[in-house]
Structure 1
Amino acid sequence: MRLSTSLKVLALAAAVSAPAQSALAWGASGHRVVGVVGAATLPADVPAFLRTPQAVATIGEYAREPDRWKGSGKIHDHDRDSAHFLDVDDQGLMYGGPAFTVATLPPTRADYEKALRAAGVDSWQAGYLPYAIIDGYQQLVKDFTYWRILTAAVKLEKDPTRLAYYRADLKRREDLLLRDLGVWAHYVGDGSQPLHLSVHYNGWGDYPNPNGYTQARSTHFQFEGPLTQALADEASIKALVPAYKACDCSIETRVVGYLTDTWKQVEPLYQLEKAGGMIETDPRAKAFVRTRVAAGATALRNLVVDAWRESANGKIGYRPEISVADVESGKADPWFDLYGKD
């Protein structure tokens, strides 16, 4: 089997530096491609350390990580497995709970759980993918905020002891950013797989089925695994990723819109399967798979850019907070907020 360009980069870097229970969303190949293409299409204003060939390949590998965690233990898996999906029904309700819209999405996981309990279900059954994506986005904004402040501190600091600390902490922050972004890319990628946005997640299930869609329990795996591995190569997916487009909206609006677009592809997927098109030699399958994987890579790229730009207005610290702008201008000294003031 041939290694992708990104994997060759990782293998070379390694050589130089060397001394379940729930269904997966995209297989290893699909998640890797979402991570690699999302990172490879970042624009030039995003920090350069995230755009090197090695960083791009690393993000692709980290994008597989939440699936590799599975089997760690009952508590570990139970807490995380429901982050991969959201079961939206044919009426657009979240597992019979609130409608899946920006206006009706409960503002926190606690509010979401309360709303679903009122409908007789809970978030562990319904999934909480939107919250996993929004949580990771907010973490990324904070990571970028620290990166901006540390970068400014390295430029401005005269004291050699503090400067040494800032340089080391900046490296730690860059390493953490790669990890946080890469692992979060998994959940963003989950959001482009239609079967992770539907109660019909593996065969149509015990629901009205007037169109006679398949009940095969192999549907989920065949679509996101072998079919995607065969059709979703990096070059083909990258060719389908458009230029970044700002949303000028809240992260909730961005995420709900993205996931709603994916949910709308559930029935077309089942129609394609019924028509016999869910095979790798069928051009309809090729178009469908590549469009969905490209949607994941596009969403990842867009959300990273959004987070980077939002971080320009970010703050760190506590009583008082200090802003990126104040540190960059020399108005605020970030030492105690970065090293710690206990």
Structure 2
Amino acid sequence: MFKHRFLWVAALSASFLLPQTSYGWGGRAHSVIDQTAIDAIPTDGPVFLKQHAALISQSASIPDTWRASSEPFSKIAEDPNHGWFREQFAFMKIPPRSRYEFILALYREHERLLATNPAAASRMNVRWTGTLPYAVVEGYGHLVADMRLIREMKAKSLNTNTLETDVAFMVAWMGHYVGDGSQPLHVTIHHDGWVGPNPKNYTRNPAVHGRFESRYADMIALDEADLLPRLGAVAHQNGDVFNEVISYLDRSHQDVEKVYALDKSGALDDPKNPKARELIYERTAAAAAMLRDLVCRAWHESALPPEVNNSDPTNPSSPGYDSATGSVPAALARAPASSPAN
């Protein structure tokens, strides 16, 4: 488990500071997103997480600390999980339901481009496309499995305190990617300044990323009270989880140009600008709502018996087996039919 990590993280103060690098929503926004999501969990959700709200909110930016060049193995593995630069892999009409299938599809396109456009080929890889939705749904699976174990242990009158703390950190871990996914500049090739044709003369300065997600959130003192009224009722409880996450990222992408237009107008220098404030409020509230919804759905799904698949997805004789990835892509996820009791 993560016992030693939790002892360390629990000792962090609310003023925990990250290196000054534009990695994702700033420390304030990530913390507020997570705190809001946990406080908004309804009574039929995993209410035990409310006891760990401080741990979750204070751990919200931990995944960014895994991206320093001083830890190269960690950085190489972690960097792609924070972005989803859809324009870069527009040749894929529908993203595959497997991280490895996605990586292999990128490699095949990389190989094709090498002969005609080496510059484009150099960016046809996970570092320049991102793997954010896979990080979210993989984290979701971890939550379902461990929440199911909590239920089993409680049924046997066993103490679940340690496992509940582990789950709280997993919520913060997955929640970081959910938060990044609501930031428009995390779902576009224009993540650090406008690239390519630029008829509207948007800035090409990478600093635009930090001006929006960190500096402006700090300037307006973003707070939970700004987000809670914007959350709405629990949603995303039906339909396939992966498809729900993809749709969530597509919605974020709609605001890419809005960020650049606000920056160009000088709105991101004005903490009283209503359009800039509203975009920050709307996007961070969307993240808090999505995190709450996924956590609640995981809890409800954990009450259901595990689905029994008669075929082993890693067995070469299983239907749909992909010999390149060594597995069968994930099937469409079931939706909890109702909200089971705690």
For 2:224 and 2:216, how far apart are their aligned partners in 1?
15
Which blocks of at least 5 consecutive residues in structure 1 are unaligned?
1-9, 15-19, 155-165, 320-342
1:1-342 correspondence runs (5 A)? 23-52=22-51, 55-71=52-68, 72-89=70-87, 94-99=88-93, 104-120=94-110, 121-154=124-157, 166-167=158-159, 170-205=160-195, 207-231=196-220, 232-279=222-269, 280-315=271-306
CA–CA distance in structure 2, aligned partners of residues 40 and 46 of structure 1: 11
Q: Is the 8 A contact 2:66 2:78 kept in 1?
A: no
Shift of 1:275: 2.5
Runs (4 or more) in structure 1 with deviation over 3 Å come to 10-14, 20-23, 94-97, 314-319
After superposition, give the CA deviation of every residue in 1:50-100 in whole Å (9 maximum; x if it has no partner): 123xx11211111111112332511111111111001122xxxx434413x
Contact 2:46 2:295 in 1 (8 A): no
Q: 1:124 to 1:215 in 2, by over 3 A?
A: closer
Query: Scaled by the length of structure 1, what TM-score is found?
Result: 0.77
Percent of pairs with identical residues: 32
Q: Are the aligned partners of 1:146 and 1:316 in contact in 2 as well (CA < 8 Å)?
A: no
How far apart, CA to CA, are the structure 2 residues paired with 1:79 and 1:12?
A: 25
The one-character-per-residue Cα deviations of 1:126-150 (angstroms, maximum 9, x if unpaired) are 1100100111011111111111111
Report SS of the residue matched to 2:102. Answer: helix
Aligned to 1:242, the other structure's residue is in SS state coil
TM-score (norm 2): 0.77
In 2: Cα distance, 1:26 partner to 1:301 partner? 18
Letter in structure 1 aligned against 2:134: Y
Whole-Å Cα distance in 2 between the matches of residues 33 and 12 of structure 1?
Answer: 16
Greater shift, 273-282 or 207-216, is seen at 273-282
The CA RMSD over aligned residues, in Å, is 2.6
**Secondary structure of 1:60 counterpart:** helix
- 2:65 and 2:225 map into 1 onto residues whose CA distance is 25
Contact 2:236 2:294 in 1 (8 A): no
Between the two proteins, the alignment pairs up a number of residues equal to: 282
Residue identity in the other structure for 2:240: S
